[in-house]
């Protein structure tokens, strides 16, 4: 029968089983067809309908199986995607944590380098200021030495070539020679002593007589500070001229 050719081996096995054929699993396709045709329960119309029903049922099951497989595949795909998304989110979270930690460490290292740099700069500045102050003190000391040397040289030269009469004419007598204090009136004659140096102030020079010696006394213009021993500074009487008071740099008078 031609309609039996439409059925697959599984369809024919099922149909043969329903018709009472035994041991259908060991039979081949052509043997199944012969067994169905030779069966005492064979009816062509019934067998045709039965085979169509079996074929449709098989198709329906295959379709259901396909849909189930597809559903499981979609579930598996969704689950894999969910896991991948979770893993990606976890990796991203760890990367952000690592990045934040690296940035924090870099900020700390930068702040430490900046602090050390500022400390080193401050130390260099302090040392430079100390060195500059030292050089300035040395320059001032040398200038002071030169000024003193020039003062001494000028006094010796003037005393050497000045006559006693001229020297004494404008001189002021020291009040008390035992204490080595030299005083003079403010209105005494004065001259200008130029040391030929731009950084040394011009000083006023007056004649001062100490016993038989006439010296050039320097009157400070205010740019320098004259220092006098406190135990030597006292009021000194000058007849007819009132008092002259010397003030020391230490606040004693």
Alpha helices in 164-251 (DSSP H): 164-169
Q: What pTM, to 2 d.p., does this model score?
A: 0.34
| pLDDT single digits (tens) 55-73 | 888 888 889 999 999 999 9
Distance CA 246, CA 183 (A): 9
Distance CA 181, CA 173 (A): 11
Check: CB of residue 208 under 8 Å from CB of residue 174: yes
Name the residue among 206, 201, 205, 204 with its Cα closest to residue 223. 201
| pLDDT single digits (tens) 157-197 | 555 444 443 334 444 444 444 444 444 444 444 444 444 44
Distance CA 71, CA 78 (A): 10
Beta strands 236-238 and 242-244 are antiparallel
Q: Could you tell me how far CA 155 lies from the centroid of its own chain?
A: 63
| Predicted pLDDT at 72 | 95
Distance CA 224, CA 222 (A): 5
| pLDDT single digits (tens) 22-41 | 777 667 766 766 676 666 76
């Amino acid at each position: 029968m031609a309609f039996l050719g439409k059925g697959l081996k599984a369809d024919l096995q099922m149909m043969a089983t329903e018709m009472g054929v035994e041991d259908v699993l060991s039979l081949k396709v052509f043997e199944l067809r012969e067994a169905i045709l030779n069966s005492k329960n064979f009816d062509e119309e019934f067998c045709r309908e039965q085979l169509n029903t079996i074929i449709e049922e098989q198709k329906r099951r295959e379709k259901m199986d396909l849909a189930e497989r597809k559903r499981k595949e979609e579930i598996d795909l969704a689950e894999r995607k969910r896991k991948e998304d979770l893993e990606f989110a976890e990796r991203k979270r760890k990367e952000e944590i690592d990045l934040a930690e690296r940035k924090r460490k870099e900020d700390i290292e930068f702040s430490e380098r900046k602090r050390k740099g500022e400390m080193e700069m401050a130390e260099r500045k302090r040392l430079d200021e100390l060195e500059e102050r030292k050089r300035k003190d040395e320059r001032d000391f040398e200038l002071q030495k030169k000024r003193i040397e020039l003062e001494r040289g000028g006094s010796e030269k003037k005393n050497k070539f000045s006559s006693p009469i001229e020297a004494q004419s404008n001189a002021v007598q020291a009040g008390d020679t035992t204490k080595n204090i030299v005083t003079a009136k403010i209105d005494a004659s004065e001259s200008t002593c130029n040391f030929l140096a731009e950084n040394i102030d011009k000083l006023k020079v007056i004649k001062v007589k100490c016993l038989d010696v006439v010296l050039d006394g320097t009157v400070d213009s205010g740019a320098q500070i004259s220092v006098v021993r406190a135990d030597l500074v006292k009021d000194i009487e000058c007849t007819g001229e009132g008092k002259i008071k010397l003030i020391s740099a230490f606040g004693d008078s």
